[in-house]
Amino acid sequence: MTFQMSLQLACTLFNVQQIRYLSSRPEGKVLETVGVFEVPKQHGKYETGQLFLHSVFGYRGIVLFPWHARLYDRDVSPPSAESKPEPPGAHGSKEVKGKTHTYYQVLIDTRDCPHIRSQTEAVTFLANHDDSRALYAIPGLDYVSHEDILPYNSTDQNPIQHELFERFLMFNPSKVPPFVPRDTLRAWQEKNHPWLELSDVHRETTENIRVTVIPFYMGMREAQNSHVYWWRYCIRLENMGNEVVQLRERHWRIFSLSGTLETVRGRGVVGREPVLSKEQPAFQYSSHVSLQAPSGHMWGSYRLERPNGTFFDVRIPPFSLESKKDDTPNGFLPGPFSSLA
């Protein structure tokens, strides 16, 4: 039984409220109850400490804190005075109205990381100026939208396995949910706010393939007597139809405020050519870009292949790369980190 099938089985049990996962025992793999479903919130937001299943990737997680982002959905938004214009040379000509949407910073259960089609080191930081390594990643940290969350509760005092779980949260049975933030979490959020903050989300669908992009500013570094500005961007591709497709190529256009326009082409993404099917409809990854200017734009397309061997292009919605005034990280990074450089 695959991880996705296990989630589907769990969801079919919604009427009896139990969530069950496969676990390994000496006698073999068995289904164990890990919690009880709650009714998803149609209004309001989830609190710190809320346990959940990810509705797309199926992993167990816990909410750390919310972010209020502007969602620019090119599938539904008409022109407006609050819209964002296209960057120079980008495909299309329409402007898109932003709508406030709630996202969450969450921890992923490390037991589920090997089974999900999403990078589990999606959140990265620039190292200190005097460090030879360029980037650090925090494993098992993710951003999820409000509709991604299937909330549940558990009697287990340590329901999530992650090295930061006990450093960030503590059990308090008198609270709902019963996991409350420690001062460590508040300090970490405050000190790293500029590099964690989620402000804009961009979404566009082409031939049933939805692409969602979330850019993050990471800071500025000096290199060879010039300033280099860094961003990371997280992308989710999701097959909203029934036809099996496979991502084959990427094509990026990167415009810098300095006036340069760069074209990048290559096979797949992050070394993979993921298949998007009804059983496994989504794939999520993160990457990085640097400019020798404080702002710019990116846009592009993916080339996907159908089962009959024909190809089609899927648009990547244009998004801005904007820097911030305060670009000196506080350096408060709990736990071990792996270098991506």
Per-residue pLDDT of the chain (341 residues; tens, 9 = 90+): 344 444 444 444 444 466 766 565 555 666 777 889 999 999 999 999 999 999 999 999 999 999 999 999 999 745 444 455 555 555 554 678 899 999 999 999 999 988 888 876 667 777 665 554 567 778 899 999 999 999 999 999 999 999 999 999 999 999 999 999 999 999 999 988 888 888 899 999 999 999 999 999 988 888 778 889 999 999 999 999 999 999 999 999 999 998 999 999 999 999 999 999 999 999 999 999 999 999 999 999 999 999 999 999 999 999 999 998 755 444 444 433 332 22
Q: Name the token pair of 294.
A: 């404080």
Return the sign of the alpha-carbon dihedral for residues 18, 20, 26, 27. Answer: positive
Distance CA 276, CA 63 (A): 27
The radius of gyration of the chain from alpha carbons, rounded to an integer in Å, stands at: 21
Beta strands at 261-267 and 245-256: parallel, antiparallel or unpaired: antiparallel
Q: Tell me, what's the pLDDT at 34?
A: 82
Return the sign of the alpha-carbon dihedral for residues 147, 148, 150, 153. Answer: negative
Q: Tell me, what's the pLDDT at 222?
A: 83
Q: Tell me, what's the pLDDT at 28?
A: 60
Q: What letters, b where the CB count within 10 A reaches 16 and e where it falls short, cover 88-123?
A: eebeeeebbbbeebbbbbbbbbbebbeebbbbbbbb
Q: Tell me, what's the pLDDT at 338?
A: 31
Q: What is the pTM of this model?
A: 0.83
In the block, residue with structure tokens 């937001």? 45
Distance CA 150, CA 153 (A): 10
Q: Tell me, what's the pLDDT at 91?
A: 53
Reduced to 3 states, what is the DSSP secondary structure of residue 235? strand
Q: Tell me, what's the pLDDT at 24?
A: 56
Distance CA 218, CA 20 (A): 38
Residue 176 sits at the vertex; the CA angle it makes with 105 and 163, to the nearest 5 degrees, is: 45
CB 69 within 8 A of CB 201: yes
CA of 267: how far to CAs of 49, 236, 281, 303, 320, in Å?
40, 17, 20, 9, 24
Q: Name the token pair of 57.
A: 């990737």
Q: Tell me, what's the pLDDT at 86?
A: 56
Distance CA 299, CA 55 (A): 28
